Structure 1
Amino acid sequence: MATIKQVSELSGVSQATVSRVINGSSRVSHDKKLRVEKAIQELDYRPQSISHSAALNRSGCIGLVIPELAGPYYGNIMSTIEETLRPLGYQLLVTAGGQSEQSEQTAVEFLFSRRVDALLLYTSYLSDDYLIEISKQKLPMVVLSRFIPELHNSCIEMDDELGGKSATKHLIELGHRRIACITGPLSKPDARARLQGYRTVLEEANIAYDSRLVVEAGFTELTGAKAMEKLLNRKLDFSAVFCCNDLMAIGAIETLNELDSPQKEPISVMGFDNIIFSQYVTPALSTIHYPIEKMSVEAVHLLLQKINKKKLDVQFKFTPTLVVRESTMALAPL
């Protein structure tokens, strides 16, 4: 049976660092976490705390609620969480929250019934009050990609409004003044925050907000394509569009590529998320990088800290970054 010393030697870190990674007890760099987790997996090391989970009345299972099981974005989240948990001896139980408050509540209740050791929630429709209430049930819980002031020590979030600002500012710096926006469902806080970032930067640049240039869509490729069709059918003058996720941007690009008549000037398209496919569309998509993998890893380690009653020491808030590719171009002078 592999020992913690062997894990330490293979990963090139101290035994204390290995122990911290296993227990989530203290801050460890992302690189060292990955090295330790890889060594644990290669050696098939079973942490003692997990081996004795039955004695501790633990199931060794973490419950995850996620909006849907399909697609590159959510698939990446699930695989990252599972790959982080598995070397540490935990299994992941995943259920889809669906597209309503009731379905998300049902998903949470299902995980409670399975007696998981902790909950990781990526939800859009559950109210803050509901999440605050279930947090009182003494089951460790982390909320991913959302911030609730009363649960500030349980939330791993990214600044979506800043991402919307960065995307819009990039287009303005390229000379664009008439910038459309394809939003996600405005019932979702991240969609509202990204739209607010767009509006704020327009105001700062003394560009009038035009509601006719804004179309609500569904965070999918098909709805993005239809939203772009709607914008074009309105016969409005715009030279760029900020799509509030990459799938919608890819759909918008498909619509533009299928136009029967060439445009006077190509329309710049900006995405959000930096999913793997964004670099392979034509033209390659400029986007905002959402560090969801690092956020997911931090969420796992925050859960471990809560399970093991250790000091909470993770990165709670992440900053988006601009990724410039070929889909955004400087506006040609008149």
Structure 2
Amino acid sequence: MSIKKIAKEAGVSTATVSRVLNNPGYKCSSEELRERIWKIARELNYMPNEAARSLKKGITDTSQKVWYLDVLMTRTGNLETDPFFSELLRVIESEIHRQGCILMHIFHQPLLSNDRKCRTENIDKVIAQMEPDGDIRSDGLIIIGKCNDNVLKKLSAKYRSIVSVNRNSTNYLVDEVICDGKRIAAMAVEYLIGLGHRKIGYVGDCHNESRYKGYQDTLFQYGIDMDISFVIEAEHTEAEGYAVMERLIQRGDAPTAIYCANDMIAIGMLKCLNKYKNRYYVPSIISSDDIEEAQYTKPMLTTVRLPKEEMGKFALYLLIDRLGGGHKGIVRTELEGKLMIRESCTLVENANRMEYYI
């Protein structure tokens, strides 16, 4: 299937289609258009010319074999998308096509990331909904986001190869590419401690979450008692961040600094502080991921950048290598985060001098 066919159905130029499919960082005129192009490409089973020619010739050598792949998105939040995972998906989609593979399906199943819900819901029924409609069965699966251990075991029986891309480890159940959440949290919390903060809060998922564990361990390492009232469990959405900050503003005793488990929580907090910017409470805020929007807040958000491009590329390399018989043991590839120091954090004594608005 040619790019021309996709361009015709999407109502755009072939150049636009090519840029969208091959460049995860390409700024389309709208996110809706970008998603429409990818949807059409998947429906038409688009593959790059070189892969198409190999398939037509019946090439069976594993180094040139065309693999059929699925992607499972398990990000939390049914109504709001976590841009980190969407940006990571762009990288993986583009890399799948560059490697001459066919992306068959993208499944969205937030339930599968929630251990408590997986114990009460019928996960076999959820997994059954991922069965292919046609005769072609996908060879491999890339899981983006946290996934329940029992679900991983069930999925492993359905695919020849699975790779998890995440901020939490699967404890060697499947091949994985991670940017360790504990180390990410440690980097963020240590920065706050270096600014003189001792009353440091945490907002995000607390259940089986490596970033929460990293927050706890870092406070302990520096001899700082963790105040449980500064720990607020929340979904990783902007709305949750906004709501949490509204509650903190009303408190008589609140943390001088907050580590948010992801950028969306932090952005919601910044927007809330903008609304109440005449109040005395102005905490330092730091988070992790470094989504695109983090660079356009004011003050710009200090966060720990996760290497999305490398995470996506290594995930596909591992998947193809196992499918081709290159390795049999479980492989974990761990990448390092990078602290992006911007403007949303300050010395503890200067906390009330910042201006918040987005």
- Which shifted more, 247-256 or 133-142? 133-142
Q: 1:312 to 1:76 in 2, by over 3 A?
A: farther
Alpha-carbon distance, 1:160 to partner:
0.3
Q: 1:123 to 1:198 in 2, by over 3 A?
A: closer
1:122-171 Cα deviation digits (max 9, x unpaired): 35352x2442344245611112214233436x121221011111111100
Q: Which secondary structure does the structure 2 equivalent of 1:65 belong to? A: strand
1:213-252 Cα deviation digits (max 9, x unpaired): 1111110000011111222223214211111100000001
Residue segments in structure 1 that go unaligned for 5+ positions in a row: 1-40
Q: Which residue of 1 aligns with 2:73?
A: 66
Aligned partners of 1:60 and 1:166: how far apart in 2? 38
Match of 2:190 among 151, 165, 169: 169
Q: Quick check: 1:183–1:244 contact (8 Å CA) kept in 2?
A: yes
Q: 1:56-135, aligned counterparts within 5 Å?
A: 60-67=67-74, 70-92=81-103, 93-100=105-112, 101=118, 102=121, 106=125, 108-113=127-132, 115-126=137-148, 128-135=149-156
Match of 2:235 among 218, 229, 233: 218
Q: Which residue of 2 aligns with 1:22?
A: none
Match of 2:50 among 29, 45, 64: 45
Q: Quick check: 2:140–2:159 contact (8 Å CA) kept in 1?
A: no
Q: 1:187-266, aligned counterparts within 5 Å?
A: 187=207, 189=208, 192-259=209-276, 261-263=278-280, 266=282
Aligned partners of 2:57 and 2:326: how far apart in 1? 18
Q: Which secondary structure does the structure 2 equivalent of 1:151 belong to? A: coil
Aligned partners of 1:47 and 1:73: how far apart in 2? 31
Aligned partners of 1:238 and 1:140: how far apart in 2? 45
Aligned partners of 2:58 and 2:182: how far apart in 1? 41
Q: Which secondary structure does the structure 2 equivalent of 1:269 belong to? A: strand
Q: How many residues align?
A: 286
Q: 1:110 to 1:297 in 2, by over 3 A?
A: farther
Q: 1:137 to 1:53 in 2, by over 3 A?
A: farther
TM-score by length of 2: 0.71
1:15-58 Cα deviation digits (max 9, x unpaired): xxxxxxxxxxxxxxxxxxxxxxxxxx9x9433776556696998
TM-score by length of 1: 0.76
Q: Which residue of 2 aligns with 1:19?
A: none
Q: Quick check: 1:181–1:243 contact (8 Å CA) kept in 2?
A: yes
Q: Which residue of 1 aligns with 2:3?
A: none
Q: Which residue of 2 aligns with 1:328?
A: 345
Higher relative contact order structure (alpha carbons within 8 Å, sequence separation ≥ 6): 1
Q: Quick check: 2:165–2:176 contact (8 Å CA) kept in 1?
A: yes
Aligned partners of 1:182 and 1:129: how far apart in 2? 27
Alpha-carbon distance, 1:98 to partner:
2.4
Q: Quick check: 1:76–1:293 contact (8 Å CA) kept in 2?
A: no
Aligned partners of 1:141 and 1:283: how far apart in 2? 40
Q: Which residue of 1 aligns with 2:26?
A: none
Q: 1:292 to 1:105 in 2, by over 3 A?
A: farther
Alpha-carbon distance, 1:315 to partner:
6.8
Which amino acid letter does the alignment assign opposite residue 298 of structure 1?
F
Aligned partners of 1:285 and 1:123: how far apart in 2? 23
Aligned partners of 2:100 and 2:126: how far apart in 1? 24
Q: Quick check: 1:285–1:327 contact (8 Å CA) kept in 2?
A: yes
Q: Quick check: 2:163–2:176 contact (8 Å CA) kept in 1?
A: yes
- Which shifted more, 128-137 or 83-92? 128-137
Aligned partners of 2:203 and 2:229: how far apart in 1? 11
Q: Which residue of 1 aligns with 2:292?
A: 276
